[in-house]
Structure 1
Amino acid sequence: MIALIAGATSPAFAQDPSSSEQIPESAAGVTEGSVIIVTAQKREESIQDVPIAVTALSSEDLDAQKIEGGSELLRAVPNVSFSKSNFSMYNFSIRGIGTKAISAASDPAVAISFNNTPLVRNRLFESEFFDMARIEVLRGPQGTLYGRNATAGVVNLIPALPTDEFEGSVKAEVGSYSTRRLNGMLNVPLGDTFGVRVAGQWTKRDGFDYNTFTQNRVNGRDLWSTRAIAEWEPSDRFRANVIWQHFEEDDNRSRTGKQLCTRDPGPTMVGTTPVPADLQGRLSQGCLPRSLYDEAAFGAPNASGLAFLVAGNIAIPMGVRPDTFEMVYGMRAGDPFADVAQSRDLREIATSYDPVFRAKNDVFQGNLEFDISDSLRLVSQTAYARDRYYSSQDYNRFLSAPIFNDTTGLVSPLTGEPIDQAHAAPGAIFVDPQLGASDRLLAVDLNRSRNSQWSQEFRLQSSFDGPINFNIGANYLHFKSQDDYFVFNNTFSFIAYNLYNRPVQTYPNYHPCPPDTVGVDCVYVDPNPIGSLDELGHNYFLSRNVVKTESWAIFGEAYWNVAENVKLTAGLRFTKDSKTATPIPSQLLLGGGGELGTSGGSVSAGYPADPEVKQRWSEPTGRLVLDWMPDLSFTDDTLIYASASRGYKGGGTNPPRPNLNPRIVQFQPLPATFEPEYVNAFEIGTKNTFAGGRFTLNATGFYYDYEGYQVSKIVDRISLNENFDATIWGLELEAAWRPSRAFQMDANLGYLRTRLKDGSQSIDVMNRTQGNEDWVLLRPWIQIPSNCIAPRQHVETILNSPLAPFLGLNALGALCGGSKETGTFNPEVDGLRMDQFFGFTYNPLTDAPNGGRGFFADLSGNELPNAPRLTFNVGAQYTVPIDGGDWELTLRGDYYRQSKSFARVYNTEFDRLKGWDNANILIALERPASGLEFQLYVKNVFDKTPITDFFVNSDDTGLTSNIFTLDPRIIGFSVSKSF
């Protein structure tokens, strides 16, 4: 059993390279002389003859290694990492290049294809594999045949097609977390020219995580998929098939994991000046940039300085007590997260809201092949895909203390009449229209997307007997999407009702909203629950992104056999991309105040769109490859190749920031768009076969010159995308040894070095001052989403002023907001001038680095995120005949190891992700003659819970970190029967 540590790339189904008939391999391994056929170059070829670094996994390999979905492919492919991302997609990374840009206008760097059709949006993370012919993972830019969005590589999912035999299979499984899984396949030939194949899969299991507050298991699974294929081959020259695949999920899957934070208490001193306790929170960023592996990381942000809480406890007078005339404010002072101590168990949360998750995906594909002659084939692929996604969960993964003051019995200080309790907090409980009644801080997000795509590709392929052949084609892609991200917070609604919308009879606001109207500075509150929003409300945050992409391309590859064993491949692709984005600014707590308003908004309700942003790129890409198949005495077959290739991925638009009135606040300008990615890649490799096919050894070395790698961070509540240049180089080894039908062993090794180029820089939201003691981090007022830095001397001047107890909080927050009149904060609204009250003038837009956003961090030489230097996988299996060979007992083990890496480009201790490993074992008892098999397996044997990645949330919620982890240990038992 010591040898049973694993992960591997067992071959795909075997096939005579001169025939299109598929010949499945036996479960015991590959016999001498078998050939692994792939379509990496969009034609059937032996994997050992393709001058591309490619790994192929058959359905038998997937089952043996228990690779059930896209997130587990990293266990079989070198230099691959995978993690869920914060919103609706994921980061599949090959050789350090993945999708760290989370904007709706960004594209994946690894092209996910279904039967050679690229899918811009897909459910690779959520769905499970079933009835697959094979999965091919191509490493390196595939800029000719696959084109745009393949700068890192391609994952090609190839389903099993109908055969000319009546056959079927069914498999039932039970396991940990009340797992129930069922899948099956039926292949029915109808006459000599027509066949149908249908397959399906269903999985249901309890949640991997436990919510101690609701006492429910969450992060469960309830999903199913089905596929139907009809194929018609009326003659030797014409073939056609139609494929429909459907995926659906409806459960309580968590989009993100636990939320970690090392609490930032705020400074007690600024320079030589003490900071009063009630102002320390305004100089705290919420969470400190400390390691997520420290015990202190299981805290919660310092919320005493969060603008929406401060507004509630100093700016919203609710009324007076009739007996004492004491003024009561809407919310309690202090930090409602002060006593939070989270469980150290990464699979345990405490929230008042359990996740809701729904996804639905359909792919329709039509394929035509017509042999114009014996050596010329025309191929057409038409595809339509649509995707729907809905995920809602608690924005924080911990509970607050009560935050509202009891408004029962309060009266107006002007009239003495009882205040209206409709939107107050009688009994210290506020009823939010979306989230319901609570005495605590409630925050829930909702991520929703709707998108569709249509694509068409034509290819003309030759197979001449002469030295020159070609593969030429053209394709078109049309993709449109709408991505919505909501954040609901009961304090937002409370502020909208009681700060901006309160009738003058209750208490005189600056500019009161007339009762029952949308007037001077009203902030419209959506009265509907989450399931039936009118989507006009400004009492919640909504980032809406509407993007349309069109892409045209022509491409071609020529193959010239320069000599009997030397081939030159030259490929060129010309791509023309067009992206049209409709910017829709967010409107959180903004009203239509006009010249009199204090909220900084311009409309009371709805989300008016800005003019469309249109971007276009026309890019040539391609590759040049020279491969040589020498006749060596110590190998059966050897391929040596060298290639140069160029890849490209389109840019996009950054989402618009809040629609603030520049009279109130002026932002430092940020780029409205981000640039495309380009990579020039150079690769050398060799593929070798020994001992009649029993041993294969492949090696690859590569160097990338990368331009414009796209990385996102949250700035002003939106995903700001930045571009970085980098160099990448590495090595890969893949080996498979099958000395007999009884024993086989596989291994792969990836070594990777990445480096951001000199001059790379970015503002780290976790460290805006970069250690400069002359500058101080501050929290702004509610209209400004992001923290800022301000001169220490000005902060000390305010703190030392006798006006500090009265104006200090407003004055400190005002240092973050630039305005048209230098030296003011919210002029014409507050009527307060820095020079009048504190003796200095200051405009952050001109007087602070980067408009007060912070100092650049020097990133020169830093590693790319999610780029572990070492990935390693080894697997072995041994088959023992039983009962004279009627039964076979197979023992298999897989072991995977990934070294440390970083989650962000800043490479600080906060960013460090520890290395992790994963072990799996399998025992299978099979009777080949009857197609009966029993399996017992354990995934994640040692129940490891590594942090695979994390995401930093926005400034105005405290800079908490959402983490992502592996699935826990799962023990399963299955029975399958084929016929």
Structure 2
Amino acid sequence: MRHTTYLRAATCASALLIGLGLAVGATTPAFAQSNDDDVRVKDEIIVTARKTEETLLDVPLSITAITEAEIERSGIDNIADIALQTPGFSFRQGFGRAEGGANSRPAIRGMSNVLGAPNAGFFVDGIFVSDSITSYQLDNLQRVEVIRGPQSALFGRNTFSGAVNFVTRDPGDEMRGRITAMAAEHDAFELNGYVSGPIKEGILYGEINGRFNTFGGDYENADGGDDLGAQETTNVGGKLVFTPSDMFTARLNLGYSEVRDGGFAYGALGSNNLNCFLPNVTGSFFGIDLSSNRSRGYFCGEIEVPDTLAFNDAELDQLGYDGIERDSFRSSLQLDWDLDNGYTLTSITAYNSSKNINIFDNALVSSATPNFSIGKSSRHDISQELRILSPRDNRFRWLAGGYYFEENDGEGFDAGGNFNPNGLSNRPRLFDSGDKVENVALFGMVEYDASEDLTLSLEARYQEDTITATDEVLGAADSTTRPAFNNVREAKFESFLPRLTARYALNENMNVYGSIAKGNKPGGFNPVPTQAEFFDPQDFTEFTRDFATFDEENIWSYEVGLKGQDGEGRFNYNVAAYYIDWADQQLTQSQPYLTASSGGNSGTTFPAVVNAGESEIYGFEAELFGSLDRFSYSLGYSFTNAELTDFYDENAEELFDTDGIPSGSPGDVDGFNGQLAGNDLPQTPAHQINASGTYTVPVNDSTDWFARADYNYESKRFVQVFNLAHTGDSHMLNLQTGIDRGDWSITAFYNNVLGDDTPLVVTRLLDFNRTLLIPDPVRSFIFLPNRRFTFYRDFTISGPRKSQFGVRASYKF
């Protein structure tokens, strides 16, 4: 492995030196002019973060805009790569591309979710994406806009930390296209391309695009099967633009995505490796450890990816499943009317659907009888937006609109259990879901030029979110009958979400701005387990009372920023500082329970969303991009201080317990009451650095040699609110070099040069193979009084992509 790493590094270094030698004696004016043009294109980046076209310099928001040219140049492949280029944005894709929870944790300005819906919303052409964004292709984009800070006023639900908007490319008057092929280590291959141009000159334009990407995996499977981390994605799409007159444009966008992934690279720490706050075992009860304190053990310090990872995919193949299966369909129709009086009327209609099968190997080790959890879910959503925009050249401008969104969960199945030659101990059991989200909103913006230099704006949204939750009833094993859902619950959340901004032009190249904004994330229902075996009716009453529902959370965000560029357009800069007051934050508590189907002999956990209390976040971000002769660059840094100010956690009280008696009870000695005020929020780094540099030299009049480096640093991320276990710092360095002739290019790349092996995600779990009885003042276990049955603590750990060398070739026409 070491010799292979040296060979890759030597190959890249040789290519850099050869290219530098070719450049000796080459003239520079042509490059200087080309580079100038490239930077000035950056100056004119148009963004639509406020539902109208504005230059990146003028919009009073903190935005990173990554253009089509930069996506192609840097080799960006997915949303995680976008985050590596963006200060204040961290996206960790744990446990493969499974949907939900730890598999999609976007953190903008320290606001990461632990479970439930992400705190940052993802959009395609301004249309909310309700399913996973991890497999969305980036080859059909004009740009990506990462908008930091709450965007609830105009973008709506699930954007109270920020929004990421993928803006697709419009076909134009000229026929053009591109085809790109990539081959790399770990059996990686990709072929993508598009064709775009006029269908009927001046009236109808179209584009078709497609992508096939496969990755063979890069972690050895201790079970002896395929390498872990294998992925396969197929994307096809198209866009039609219809312009029968100068006053009307219709855009129809269609896309289909298919994901077929193998077992993903994750493993367990193992409860035998716990190193702090261990149970004080004083004896046993029929083989179950008896502890005098209530702690289940924990790990303190940096957690590393286990040396041995296993996923029993050979047995999974026998069942006819991949590790992850996802089919997604997206469609939208946007109609724009430019009215005679300068007003613009816009209608956006969308329909999206997805089907997901997520599979977890619960054994986490090589096993002849693995234990699988297999679940299928499906959903579809529809949305309609209507808005009208006043003329933009008036001193007083406004925008008004209405929005409707409805998301419905549909059919699915649940299967799993121990594998045997005849299949599973729990065969597929079908169900129908009636879970539903309905959102109705009115939104608007008024903007006024108070003077030649000062512009004030007020945005606001009033919305009603209606959440419907149901209990899914499992049918008989292998039956084609789907029982009706029951226990229909409904909750409505009303909110008013304003944002006030002011922008002042210090000169024609420099703006300062300030904003005050409110954001929210609706509450909802926890899916209370119906297969729980409760030994005491009081347990069930307390369980449902405490965990059946959770409330909405809210923030107030305060931000000031400075944007500018030098007079010649050689560099641009953005600086922002912010403070966030976060109330009723939604985090999770994992509650163990015994399953009734096992007769009370097997346990699992119930991950409940709870309202944590109060938090506050402050920090700043800085971006600088531009060029120095032959060298173009971008630099970014963010500092985030995210701290809990009021959060009581029952699990914390148990973890730090020394005497076995809850705080406040008679005889309590340790006195700790589970208050975690002052601790950092989990899953978010305090420091992030991103730096990119491209050195380009003309070889002749038509050909350039280039070399590029992309570096990203993230400081450690705490696993949970206890601030004990963490991931350690990560350092990601990617290199590439190649020849660009304009119509074709060849690039050699080396990703993760430093061999960074920092865990992507670490989640708290229990070791179901090690049982424990801890003190409890009110509960009993069978006939043993004042004891609660539980399990030792454990952690699951998801590994990052390993180092990879490859070649990419592209042809444009």
- Asked whether the two chains share a fold, i.e. TM above 0.5, the reply is yes
Of 607, 610, 617, the match for 1:719: 607
How far apart, in 1, do the equivalents of 2:764 and 2:413 lie?
Answer: 16
> Within the alignment, does 1:953 sit opposite 2:770 as a pair?
no
Q: 1:969 to 1:939 in 2, by over 3 A?
A: same
How far apart, in 2, do the equivalents of 1:447 and 1:624 lie?
Answer: 44
Q: 1:30 to 1:769 in 2, by over 3 A?
A: closer
Which 5+ residue runs of structure 1 have no aligned equivalent?
5-24, 299-343, 401-439, 495-526, 537-543, 590-604, 776-788, 792-845
Q: 1:472 to 1:961 in 2, by over 3 A?
A: same
Name the residue aligned to 2:714. 898
Q: Secondary structure at the match of 2:266?
A: coil
Name the residue aligned to 2:686. 869
Name which of structure 1's ranges 348-357 and 708-717 shifts more when overlaid on structure 2: 348-357
Name the residue aligned to 1:275. 283
How far apart, in 2, do the equivalents of 1:270 and 1:161 lie?
Answer: 62
Name the residue aligned to 2:800. 966
Name the residue aligned to 1:922. 736
Matches within 5 A, 1:561-710: 561-584=449-472, 610-631=486-507, 637-659=509-531, 665-667=537-539, 668-669=542-543, 670-710=546-586
> Within the alignment, does 1:880 sit opposite 2:697 as a pair?
yes
Name the residue aligned to 1:314. none
Matches within 5 A, 1:332-731: 344-345=306-307, 353=315, 356-399=323-366, 442-482=370-410, 486=414, 488-490=416-418, 533-535=428-430, 546-584=434-472, 610-631=486-507, 637-659=509-531, 665-667=537-539, 668-669=542-543, 670-715=546-591, 716=593, 717-724=605-612, 725-731=614-620
Which 5+ residue runs of structure 2 have no aligned equivalent?
1-8, 14-33, 317-321, 594-604, 770-790
Q: 1:213 to 1:286 in 2, by over 3 A?
A: farther
Q: Aligned Cα RMSD in Å? A: 3.5
Q: Secondary structure at the match of 2:339?
A: strand
Structure 1 residue 575: deviation in Å?
Answer: 0.5
Q: Secondary structure at the match of 2:71?
A: helix
Structure 1 residue 955: deviation in Å?
Answer: 6.4
Matched residues, percent identical?
21
How far apart, in 2, do the equivalents of 1:274 and 1:244 lie?
Answer: 64
Structure 1 residue 956: deviation in Å?
Answer: 4.4
How far apart, in 2, do the equivalents of 1:614 and 1:703 lie?
Answer: 34
Query: In 2, are the aligned partners of 1:875 and 1:895 still within 8 Å (CA)?
Result: yes
Of 66, 79, 86, the match for 1:70: 79
Q: 1:856 to 1:210 in 2, by over 3 A?
A: farther
Q: Secondary structure at the match of 1:258?
A: strand
How far apart, in 2, do the equivalents of 1:848 and 1:64 lie?
Answer: 66
How far apart, in 2, do the equivalents of 1:613 and 1:82 lie?
Answer: 33
Q: 1:687 to 1:584 in 2, by over 3 A?
A: same
Offset from partner CA, 1:28-53 (integer Å, 9 cap, x none) = 83248951111111111110000000
Tell me how many residue pairs correspond in the alignment.
727
Query: In 2, are the aligned partners of 1:583 and 1:613 still within 8 Å (CA)?
Result: no
Structure 1 residue 270: deviation in Å?
Answer: 9.6
Offset from partner CA, 1:831-888 (integer Å, 9 cap, x none) = xxxxxxxxxxxxxxx9999xxxx985221011111221100011111111013x2210
Name the residue aligned to 2:191. 182
Q: 1:232 to 1:949 in 2, by over 3 A?
A: same
Offset from partner CA, 1:600-658 (integer Å, 9 cap, x none) = xxxxx998855211000110001001110022xxxx51110111000111111011133
Structure 1 residue 241: deviation in Å?
Answer: 1.2
Name the residue aligned to 1:60. 69
How far apart, in 1, do the equivalents of 2:718 and 2:366 lie?
Answer: 29
Name which of structure 1's ranges 49-58 and 216-225 shifts more when overlaid on structure 2: 216-225
How far apart, in 2, do the equivalents of 1:34 and 1:643 lie?
Answer: 23
Write the letter of the residue equivalent to 1:467. R
Of 136, 142, 148, the match for 1:139: 148
Q: 1:564 to 1:157 in 2, by over 3 A?
A: same
Query: In 1, are the aligned partners of 2:474 and 2:482 still within 8 Å (CA)?
Result: no
Q: Secondary structure at the match of 2:649?
A: strand
Offset from partner CA, 1:367-403 (integer Å, 9 cap, x none) = 0000122520000100000011112231122146xxx
Query: In 1, are the aligned partners of 2:295 and 2:654 still within 8 Å (CA)?
Result: no
Q: 1:353 to 1:907 in 2, by over 3 A?
A: farther
Of 643, 668, 671, the match for 1:755: 643
Q: Secondary structure at the match of 2:678?
A: coil
Matches within 5 A, 1:112-131: 112-122=122-132, 124-131=133-140
Q: 1:608 to 1:906 in 2, by over 3 A?
A: farther
Structure 1 residue 697: deviation in Å?
Answer: 1.4
How far apart, in 2, do the equivalents of 1:971 and 1:698 lie?
Answer: 34
Structure 1 or 2: more strand by fraction: 2
How far apart, in 1, do the equivalents of 2:683 and 2:761 lie?
Answer: 8
Name the residue aligned to 1:771. 657
Q: Secondary structure at the match of 2:210?
A: strand
Q: Secondary structure at the match of 1:62?
A: helix
Structure 1 residue 182: deviation in Å?
Answer: 0.4
Q: Secondary structure at the match of 1:64?
A: helix
How far apart, in 2, do the equivalents of 1:532 and 1:442 lie?
Answer: 14
Matches within 5 A, 1:210-289: 210-254=220-264, 257-263=266-272, 275=283, 279=287, 281=289, 283=291, 288-289=297-298
Larger radius of gyration, structure 1 or 2?
A: 1
Name the residue aligned to 1:95. 109
How far apart, in 2, do the equivalents of 1:209 and 1:455 lie?
Answer: 41
Q: Secondary structure at the match of 2:677?
A: coil
Write the letter of the residue equivalent to 2:765. N
Query: In 2, are the aligned partners of 1:585 and 1:658 still within 8 Å (CA)?
Result: no
Q: 1:564 to 1:381 in 2, by over 3 A?
A: same
Q: 1:450 to 1:285 in 2, by over 3 A?
A: farther
How far apart, in 2, do the equivalents of 1:193 and 1:373 lie?
Answer: 20
Structure 1 residue 58: deviation in Å?
Answer: 1.1
How far apart, in 1, do the equivalents of 2:753 and 2:521 lie?
Answer: 39
The TM-score with structure 1 as length reference comes to: 0.69
Structure 1 residue 129: deviation in Å?
Answer: 1.6
Q: 1:973 to 1:549 in 2, by over 3 A?
A: same
Query: In 2, are the aligned partners of 1:259 and 1:396 still within 8 Å (CA)?
Result: no
How far apart, in 2, do the equivalents of 1:174 and 1:210 lie?
Answer: 20
Structure 1 residue 691: deviation in Å?
Answer: 3.6
Query: In 2, are the aligned partners of 1:263 and 1:287 still within 8 Å (CA)?
Result: no
Q: 1:34 to 1:617 in 2, by over 3 A?
A: closer
Write the letter of the residue equivalent to 1:448. K
Query: In 1, are the aligned partners of 2:413 and 2:429 still within 8 Å (CA)?
Result: no
